[in-house]
Amino acid sequence: MNCGCHPNKADKSFTHKPVKDGECSSCHKPSDQKHPKVKKGAFLLTDNGKAGLCNECHERKDIKKYVHGPVASGDCLDCHDVHQGDNKFQLKESGVALCYMCHDKTKLGRKFPHPPIAEGKCLDCHDPHQSDNKYILKADGSDLCIMCHDKSMFTGKSIHGPVATGECSACHVTHGTQYPHLLKHSFPEDFYTPFNKSQFELCFKCHSASIADDQRTGAATGFRNGMFNLHFLHVNKADKGRSCKVCHDPHASSQPKLISSKVSGFGRWRIPIRYTKNDVGGTCVVGCHKPKSYNRIDPVVNP
């Protein structure tokens, strides 16, 4: 309804239903003062308690454990135009531009952003109103991640500790980071890399950094043939030190000790690994060297 004096409030792409239907009195009620002589005060809102007016028609959005700030304070109009707008739900901006009206865009600018952030799809992970999960997330822990990521990546005979407990953020930064794969700390991308502890900061935040220090040890690692440290053998090479991911899957594996069944090798070929564990060691049948066994008690002489 066009009231004659007031600008048309129903001429944009998205219009609030009472406005579209010409039902101004759904939200406004006359006072005892005469209009238009009295410009302000002649009409009152049917409920002056901010969101209380919205709640007369809309389902309450502030009843869960975590509530978006503007919703909690009843400031629905921080995000929505009460009459009409060019954006769905009469939002004041479209997509991520709405979020950046309040949130600092520079805090989300990273060399490697999470795709939903890069694409401005904040609502892939967050509910704009309320949630029972911290940060108004749509799900908790790894349940949020598997809304997009393949759940099979996180299941197997052996599962990395943080993955098993749903703590993906132990290794990954949810919005973005300076490292590939949203990693929190440095980890080499290459198959072969000279061993430097600073490159493996991600692993050594939890695992012992002394695991590959000594060629001979009786305690630093269980991956040893007698006293000969097989972690040292694999990583301490000037030109062809192996990255942890050459043998281990960072999420889960069908084999013990997170040993991958296949790893990316050279070109399109994926190197097969068949690992058998026993109480004192194990055996590896792999595509990059002859079958080899190890025994911590009685060292094996391999060919």
Q: How sure is the predictor about 39, in pLDDT bands with cuts at 50, 70 and 90?
A: low
Q: What is the pLDDT of residues 182-235, one digit of tens each?
A: 999 999 988 888 888 999 999 999 999 999 999 999 999 999 999 999 999 999
Q: What is the pLDDT of residues 12-34, one digit of tens each?
A: 789 999 888 888 888 888 777 77
Instruction: Report how far residue 22's alpha carbon sits from residue 109's, in angstroms, rounded to the nearest whole number.
Output: 44
Q: What is the pLDDT of residues 252-271, one digit of tens each?
A: 999 999 999 998 877 788 89
pLDDT of residue 266: 75
pTM of the predicted protein model: 0.83
Q: Choose among 222, 185, 225: nearest CA to 206.
A: 185
Specify which residues 60 forms β-bridges with.
Answer: none
pLDDT of residue 148: 94
pLDDT of residue 33: 76
pLDDT of residue 24: 85
pLDDT of residue 134: 94
State how far the alpha carbon of 251 is from the alpha carbons of 160, 233, 260, in Å. 5, 24, 10
Q: What is the pLDDT of residues 135-170, one digit of tens each?
A: 999 999 889 999 999 999 999 999 999 999 999 999
Q: What is the mean pLDDT of the chain?
A: 89
| Alpha carbons within 13 A on the beta-carbon side of 280 | 11
**Mean pLDDT, residues 84-113 taken together:** 90
Per DSSP, the residues of 82-141 read: SSEESSGGGBSS-THHHHTTTS-GGGG--SEE-HHHHTT-GGGTB-SSEESSGGGBSS-T
| Alpha carbons within 13 A on the beta-carbon side of 239 | 0
